[in-house]
Chains A and B, each alone.
Chain A
Amino acid sequence: MEISDFIKNFSNQFDDTESEVFMPNTTYKDLDEWSSLTALAVINMINKKYNVNINNDELKSTSSIQELFDLVQSKQ
């Protein structure tokens, strides 16, 4: 599991945010496009691409993409 692929999959859940915005240290919850809808899209993406189930509370415990990546990796 590579952080670069994870960032690509993560950024694919956004329609309007430029892809350059997405970095390991990006605080994704501060993005204008972050919403309950994108949160669900990210949870679904993690399940489909990494076969890992995370719930909303777990998602909320992370703030950067790197932290989320680490969480997913720890659950694989």
Chain B
Amino acid sequence: MNPFSLEDKTIFVTGATSGIGKAIAIECSKMAANLIVTGRSQDKLLDTFNHLVNNDTTNHLQLLADLSDDKDLIKLINELPELDGIVLNAGIVKDILTKLSDKTDVLNVFSINTFAPIYIVQLLLQQRKIKKNGSIVFISSISGTSCGYIGGSIYGSSKAALLGFIKALALEVAPRNIRVNSISPGMIETNLLKSTSLSAEQIKNDRESYPLKRYGLPEDVAYAAVYLLSNASSWMTGSNLLLDGGFTLK
């Protein structure tokens, strides 16, 4: 069997309505996984579902949830079956200067980017919904872990916190052969770009500053996620996969 295949694996993806999460769900379905996709927008979630390979309800499941709402999140976890793979991808970007930000800004960003994924893992472990030999993948960022940008202190710290979390988590679940890794992408061509403070001109110049002369595509991240979810990476845990077109080399 192809070590990169996800056949017979049930994989749960958060933030699957667009960008990186959508690409991860689609690419995992191409590798024969059974998907459970979640997101906040019903229409966008349905669109992701319709793009999955073998997209009928015997293979895949879509569950609407707002991860910043504890009740929604608990209901979601209660509805999940046992999982082989978990991709904690849901995230928001907010660019704000530290001196202009307040506690509410911190809580808003951390609630989605940091607290929700941690809370999901806590509940999944308590409910024993992660199978032996399972794989948990966090989507972090180069921001906060390898570099920073002006206005990115809260976003960067919310993503960097995930790397701290996985180091201990990986040790705690290792006896069950469950693996925990993260991917830290550079800038990816998604709609999140529109929520940054950058102008079209600045984005163009920024793209050019990448040694590989482009931003990443959602599929670039999805292929890395497929690897981390598959048996091909079965000796890899507690690691952070840097995926940035060479950006942080400079």
Contacts and interface: CB of A to CB of B under 8 A. Distances in A.
A62 to B, nearest CB: 23
Contacts of B128: 15
A57 B175 CA distance: 24
By Cβ-Cβ distance, the 5 closest A-B pairs, closest first, are A37-B175, A15-B176, A37-B172, A35-B175, A15-B128
Nearest to A41: B172
Interface in A13-71: 15, 35, 37
Nearest to B132: A15
Interface residues of B, number: 4
Nearest to A33: B175
B170 to A, nearest CB: 13
A39 B148 CA distance: 40
A68 B176 CA distance: 26
Contacts, number: 5
Main secondary structure of the interface of A (DSSP, over half): loop
5 contacts: A15-B128, A15-B176, A35-B175, A37-B172, A37-B175
Contacts of B172: 37
**B128, B172, B175: which has the most chain A beta carbons within 10 Å?**
B175
A59 to B, nearest CB: 18
B232 to A, nearest CB: 26
Contacts of B175: 35, 37
Interface in B127-180: 128, 172, 175-176
A35 B172 CA distance: 11
Interface in B168-201: 172, 175-176
A15 B172 CA distance: 13
Interface string B88-129: 000000000000000000000000000000000000000010
Contacts of A37: 172, 175
Contacts of A15: 128, 176
A15 B129 CA distance: 12
Contacts of B176: 15
A35 B171 CA distance: 13
Nearest to B128: A15
Nearest to B176: A15
Nearest to A35: B175
A35 B176 CA distance: 13
